[in-house]
Chains A and B, each alone.
Chain A
């Protein structure tokens, strides 16, 4: 009987070829030296856990699993995933936030930075910072609560603004009358921010009218609005309920997209100034406003694999519970700018957090890609989407048929899951639950979004398959995926 084993996924599975291409590989001897120094540290166990968390964006729950990962491989992954010393620091800061008792891990983080700095010798951020200065950012008193994500920071500064919001106020007033007002707000918040919240305090910080304004800004036309709402609704465990909520929002927002003369008629009671805001989606936010798009544009917001509305308690769907589930398969719920791991090559335009990206402004903008695991809006709209775009609805159906015909559907899913996120553990109920939240079709699309080139997809699938047991079954699954997806790549 063959048992599934979680094997050490070394550098290749966690590495980021894009970043590898931006930065020369760290020589093997240097990695050995860094790893050796870390091995000899008193805080070695904590360092091991931190490197794991920084790479995998989850805290290791099981020491047996952790033991499968060699410290040297994890350090190599760190140098590949984080191209600058600054990024490495960010990732550790985030890793600390995942730790059960972050204070206890601060000394280890400092030591890790101190030693790992050697691998970043050519990096200006590492050179510019004297060791102690760089480490001072991890004061001994630092706790998880001190590590505030950009989104949380933004949330503490409500986005209320002095600009006229009359059409939005009108719609908000109508929506607030609805018995589903809370759900409306949750859904709008999720669409605008890319994350789900059931926290009434958090939601209370945002005015419905401002969320509507943001939604209008994101959606240049009704179709885009429909897609933006739909993309979130399909990730929810209460789709039917939220579908109705989405329809309600869509219906109320129709007036924002109505022809100008109708709008003028509707707004005849308003001021001339407010009429202008009715017709065009609002432009880039003024500097005193902290809108959602500034963060989304920066590509740091993650991707919801599945949102969870805990109003009525959990359902046995295994959908992730953002905020409470640390052990998430998506490199995404975290808000570290470096949390995304994009194992692919291609042009990359880093958007400034303070200005909307070009992609944000284009009519073809698709919010689902903005919140993709890569977390890079510009890249998603410019390049990564292309492979997935060649796949129409019919094509996806044919692909599923081909995969089901020539491979075991569950092996295919587990392999895709392991390639996208982390090694699937057949003994983990949590991993089974997560695997059930995504259909084969969803995983195919994610895989195509993540791998822009067929060669890199092929390389990664074969590598991951060779490390899952039974090899032959997963090798067969890898072959089937590679063959089936080839026609959809240039």
Chain B
């Protein structure tokens, strides 16, 4: 069968093309809404701007296909091979892409809202400018998580996405929108999160060691028990963020805004908070061994039972702060 025959048969009402083999199919702007192309062989085909809503491509081979501008909303792409496919500006809203192979795929400015991407392999994919709002990328089962290693997620919209346990180690997430996203237990080691929005994000038990969070917004973010060892977070905004029991060892929070932040029981030994604003922050029972708190604003901060004996408090403002012994600091 060739492309023309397929289109002709579709026009006559046939919708089941399971297992069809058309390598290099020429289906530019084709209308194939709702067809069954399960296990089809369509690699290197041209399906640009094609209308493919509700098409079932499960286990099909679409490797190196040109799918830019294609409409694949609500399509089934379960375990579909889309390696190196060009999906620039395509629409995949609500598509089921569980276990899809998208290695090195180009998803620039693609609409992936509400997509199910659990267990998908997106390593090396370009997701710059893509919108993954409400997408599901959470870990499913043990050792089975969405693979985003080496992916480009610069300026990607991941607002509200579920990335629990996702492997995002060393991924470029600069200026990405992760507002209200769920990143519980996600691996974000060494990730570039500069200028990203993590407001309201759930990062409980996430691993952010050595991550770069400079200029990021973490307003109201939940980072309880998160690993932030050696994190770089200069000028980040952690207003009202919760960092209880978090490990902040060797972290750099220079000039950070941590107004009303909750740092109870955190380990911030050898961390650098110089010039940070910790107004009304809760540091109770925190461990601040050799922590640099110089030039910080600790006005109205609560430090009950915090270990600050070896911290550097030069130039810190401590007005009305509750000191480790329970007393209130007065000038």
Contact = CB atoms under 8 A, between A and B. Distances in A.
B155 A409 contact: no
Contacts of B177: 397
Contact of A404 (B49, B91, B128): B91
A428 interface: no
B90 A410 contact: yes
B201 to A, nearest CB: 14
B88 interface: yes
Interface string B3-33: 0000000000000000000000000111000
Interface string A208-245: 00000000000000000000000000000001100100
A307 to B, nearest CB: 16
B157 A410 contact: no
Contact of B88 (A1, A243, A410): A410
Contact of B133 (A393, A401, A410, A435): A401
Contacts of B128: 439
A265 interface: no
A410 B109 contact: yes
Contacts of A440: 89, 109, 129
Interface in A414-460: 435-436, 439-441
B157 A439 contact: no
A412 B49 CA distance: 12
A397 B159 contact: yes
Interface string A77-102: 00000000000000000000000000
B159 A2 contact: no
A400 interface: yes
B113 to A, nearest CB: 7
A315 to B, nearest CB: 12
Interface in B102-128: 106, 108-111, 113, 128
Interface residues of B, number: 31
Contact of B69 (A1, A239, A408): A408
Contacts of A44: none
A413 interface: yes
Contact of B89 (A397, A401, A409): A409
Contacts of B159: 397
Contact of A439 (B29, B90, B108, B197): B108
Interface of B is mostly: loop
Interface of A is mostly: helix
Interface in B200-253: none
B71 interface: yes
A277 B106 CA distance: 49
B68 interface: yes
B131 interface: yes
Given A409-B110, A439-B108, A439-B155, A393 B88 contact: no
Nearest to B110: A409
B71 A400 contact: no
Given A393-B197, A439-B129, A413 B29 contact: no
Nearest to A393: B197
A56 B206 CA distance: 52
A248 to B, nearest CB: 14
B111 A409 contact: yes
Contacts of A408: 49, 69, 71, 89, 91
Contact of B113 (A2, A405, A413, A435): A405
Contacts of A405: 93, 111, 113
15 contacts: A243-B194, A393-B197, A394-B197, A400-B129, A400-B131, A400-B157, A404-B93, A409-B90, A409-B109, A410-B69, A411-B89, A436-B88, A436-B106, A436-B108, A440-B129
A-B pairs, 8 with minimum CB distance: A410-B89, A439-B129, A410-B69, A404-B111, A409-B89, A440-B109, A409-B109, A397-B177
